[in-house]
Amino acid sequence: MPKWIFVLRTFLAVCAALWISFRLGFTSPSTAMTTVFIVSLPQSGQVLAKGFYRAIGTVVGAIVAVLLVGNLVQDRNLFIVLLAAWLGVCTTGAAYFRGFQAYAFVLSGYTASIIALPSLSAPESVFDVALFRLSEVLLGIFCAGLFADLLLPIRASDQLVKSVRGAYSSFIEYIQKVREGHLELAAFEESNLAFITRALELEALRESGYFENPEVRVRSSRLRLYNAEFMNAGTAFYGFYAMLGRRRRAGDEAVVTAFRAIGDPLLVALRPQGRPPATAAEARAALRALRRFRRHLGSRLAAARIEVDAATHAAGLEIPAIRFDAVARQYERFLEALTRYTEAYASLDRLNARLPHRVPPFSPHTEPVGALMMGVRAFLTVLLVASFWIASAWPAGASATLIAGVICALFAAAPQPALAARNLLYGFVIALPCSAILVFALMPHLDGFALLCAALAPFAMASVYTMATPSVASIGLGFNLMFSNLVGVNNVMTYDPVGLLNNGLAQILGVIAGLLMLTAIVPAQPSWFASRMRAQLRRNAEMAATARLPGLRARFESRTRDLLVQLVGRADRSRGEHRQQLAHALAVLDLGDALIHLRRAARDAGTTFPTTRLQPLLDSIVALLRRPSLSRRAQARAAVDQLLALLPGVMALPDAASADPLFAERDDPRWRLATDLMRIRGVLGDEPWFVELARGLDVDDRAEVAHAT
């Protein structure tokens, strides 16, 4: 049913845009029709956001087109070069930025091309063409937004509320499943990916809801805080689970059993009504229970460590206390992150209260080199197709040049650009005969606007329904772009079969040219992007070891998580690559988080433990990340052990008679340093992560790693 609501709403917006265009005497009502098709999306907030950025892109593109034609029309070659350069710059921006902001860059290049190229033959009319183009696009945006907001709207803000509530409930259920052992390693990693993806989706929903609902605008800061704490809680829990898994693999079953017992009351605290909190108001009860649990955590951990010590001695084993304490410290850190997450959730319906914590910025991963290369690809595409157009005196060459450049810009940041371009090509091919049928078989017999809408209905509604189906959305988009352009619904219709065929074939050839350039220049192969992203993933971990601490945690979290989703999204699931990439990225996330906490502990230690002592360890980890090898890993682990030896008493069991043996020195930064060092030591000793880290090395290093494994 939601699909058909979307279809009906979009078709009525198309009819309204055409009718108003006719009444106002616009030169090309089909432009308004095309705009409606392009900006229409299922959720009203998405339509408003996309329309806003399309309007910005159209204004900028129109200004650039007028400037280019006004100053360079006498020199056609220089004009083509600068227009191609502008499209390349816009493509770079589209690949660098995200969401609807990227769309503004696409439209800036597209609009400049669509206004400037036809104006070469009549430069004196470029201002009028730009003005009408801008008016028609704004009309299409207005009609699409009006119907999306008034006719059976599907609110992004409603989806945002559901996602916020569902994210918290799902996270609590996920903790319980892990505690009960119902998740295998693969399912655990996939669950982590689902939470990371959901965090990015929440940010996108917040941006869309910002345009449609004042309540989202009022709560925008609180939602950003909620999302940031959601990511922090997920990372902390993964770190705890990974440390517990290492203890299990090392044979420390007593430690694993102890923490399972400690976690039982937590699950009760998180489900005060027998289920996870369903609203922000209910989250306050969970927050109170969680705080009560944390007040008694020290005594629980102390008793558990005494039991672990007794059990290991009875079995004839000797487990240093620091191993237990390292897990306990990460467990406490997870509880702190979960408390902050619950506080952020509970604050969503208390608008007059102060925010519980400072709102960190969301910094998505960007790939400047890849974005620049995609801009170069668009520049070369326009130059090559335009050169053929000029050399061959091809009458429809301007259309082919325009479409080829648009293809490179439109799919610059798509996960699988070649596949999306192929689907768009299918839509163009299907639209050519459909346009001919409508224009030459039906429209000459129509009389009046109502019959025109009736003739458009089957074509438009079928294509919009296709757009609402994610797997074939590009086909529907391609059909609408081609169909609207070829039909050319105007106040004065022209029936030119040869012109329609030439224009249609030119656009199809333009798509083919763009598709070939997508695969020939800066190959859109997953391996190329995977290599770039894996390198950036390692640089993110380096950032955790070297960048300034203020604001580092939020930057590292958001960039790494965004990068992780892109990396896994491009992996080949049929060969299991996504699991390898996911496990590696999660381990890097764990390592970076541990490094940030270690540096904070060293900073807090002051003169007790100068931060300069950390530098050899940080340098060895950076060297390992830049060029992994067994020798560099051994150096990093040796640096960890040297630091541990500098911390007095960390390897000795504390006095069991003390009231709180585990946290007798909980305020001592040296103890925090020791537990963080043990966490880093565990990550460095994780063989699957190290093997993944070493992928893509030179032959000698790769053989060394494979032999050791």
Number of domains within the chain: 3
What's the pLDDT score for residue 571? 61
Name residues whose C-beta falls within 8 Å of residue 63's C-beta, 6 or more positions apart in sequence: 130
**Which ranges constitute the DSSP H helices of 25-125?**
29-39, 44-72, 76-96, 99-116
Least confident of 63-72, 113-122, 180-189, 269-278: 180-189
Residue 244 sits in the same domain as residue 372: no
Name residues whose C-beta falls within 8 Å of residue 29's C-beta, 6 or more positions apart in sequence: 17, 18, 21, 22, 136, 489, 490, 491
Q: What is the distance between the terminal CA atoms of the chain, rounded to a whole angstrom?
A: 54
Residue 421 sits in the same domain as residue 513: yes
Judged against a pLDDT cut of 60, whether residue 340 lies above it is answered with yes
Last residue of a domain, one of 520, 537, 567: 520
Residue 481 sits in the same domain as residue 537: no
**Which ranges constitute the DSSP H helices of 364-472?**
368-392, 397-410, 417-436, 449-467
Distance CA 86, CA 65 (A): 10
Residue 437 sits in the same domain as residue 585: no
Is residue 354 in a domain? no
| Cα→Cα distances 120→67, 126, 385, Å | 13, 9, 16
Predicted model pTM? 0.80
Smallest CA-to-CA distance from 338 within 411, 415, 437, 233 is with 233
Residue 515 sits in the same domain as residue 531: no
pLDDT digits (tens, 9 = 90+) for 421-450: 889 999 999 999 999 999 898 888 888 899
Distance CA 41, CA 48 (A): 9
Last residue of a domain, one of 473, 499, 520: 520
Per the CB < 8 A criterion, the answer to whether 5 and 152 are in contact is yes
Distance CA 1, CA 504 (A): 34
What's the pLDDT score for residue 14? 94
More confident residue, 576 or 448: 448
Q: What is the mean pLDDT of the chain?
A: 82
500: helix, strand or coil: helix
Distance CA 9, CA 147 (A): 6
Distance CA 512, CA 518 (A): 10
Burial class (CB in 10 A: 0-12, 13-18, 19+), 645: exposed
**Which residue range is the domain that position 659 belongs to?**
526-708
**Which ranges constitute the DSSP H helices of 497-608?**
497-520, 526-546, 552-569, 577-605
430: helix, strand or coil: helix
Distance CA 229, CA 210 (A): 20
What's the pLDDT score for residue 663? 41
144-160 burial, b at 16+ Cβ within 10 Å, e below that, comes to: bbbbbbeeebbbbbbbb
No. of H helices and E strands in the chain?
Answer: 28, 0
Identity of the amino acid at 709: T
What's the token pair of residue 178? 């892990």
Q: What is the DSSP letter of 354?
A: P
pLDDT digits (tens, 9 = 90+) for 86-103: 999 998 888 887 777 788
Residue 530 sits in the same domain as residue 516: no
pLDDT digits (tens, 9 = 90+) for 640-693: 888 887 775 444 434 333 333 344 455 567 777 888 888 888 888 877 667 767
| Residue keyed to tokens 């192969």 | 525
Give 122's pLDDT tier (boundaries 50, 70, 90).
Answer: confident
Distance CA 475, CA 40 (A): 15
Residue 574 sits in the same domain as residue 426: no
What's the pLDDT score for residue 86? 93
Is residue 359 in a domain? no
Residue 503 sits in the same domain as residue 442: yes
Smallest CA-to-CA distance from 141 within 23, 28, 44, 4 is with 44
Is residue 357 in a domain? no
pLDDT digits (tens, 9 = 90+) for 279-318: 888 888 889 888 888 888 888 888 888 887 777 666 555 4
What's the pLDDT score for residue 183? 63
Identity of the amino acid at 444: P
| Residue keyed to tokens 């090898």 | 629
Least confident of 21-25, 205-209, 639-643: 205-209
Per the CB < 8 A criterion, the answer to whether 30 and 489 are in contact is yes
What's the pLDDT score for residue 648? 57
Residue 149 sits in the same domain as residue 179: no
Is residue 255 in a domain? yes
Distance CA 414, CA 357 (A): 35
Distance CA 557, CA 212 (A): 28
DSSP for 583-633, written as a single string: HHHHHHHHHHHHHHHHHHHHHHHGGGS-GGGGHHHHHHHHHHHHS--HHHH
Is residue 435 in a domain? yes
DSSP for 473-486, written as a single string: HHHHHHHHHHHHHH
Is residue 274 in a domain? yes
Is residue 660 in a domain? yes
Burial class (CB in 10 A: 0-12, 13-18, 19+), 1: exposed
pLDDT digits (tens, 9 = 90+) for 442-476: 888 888 899 999 999 999 999 999 998 888 888 99
Residue 494 sits in the same domain as residue 374: yes
Is residue 92 in a domain? yes
Residue 451 sits in the same domain as residue 340: no
| Residue keyed to tokens 């996920």 | 174
Give 166's pLDDT tier (boundaries 50, 70, 90).
Answer: confident
What's the pLDDT score for residue 702? 47
Handedness of CA 204, 207, 213, 215 (dihedral sign): positive
Per the CB < 8 A criterion, the answer to whether 501 and 399 are in contact is no
Identity of the amino acid at 158: D
What's the token pair of residue 22? 């006719």
Last residue of a domain, one of 502, 520, 538: 520
pLDDT digits (tens, 9 = 90+) for 225-263: 888 888 888 888 888 888 888 888 877 788 888 888 888
Residue 684 sits in the same domain as residue 556: yes
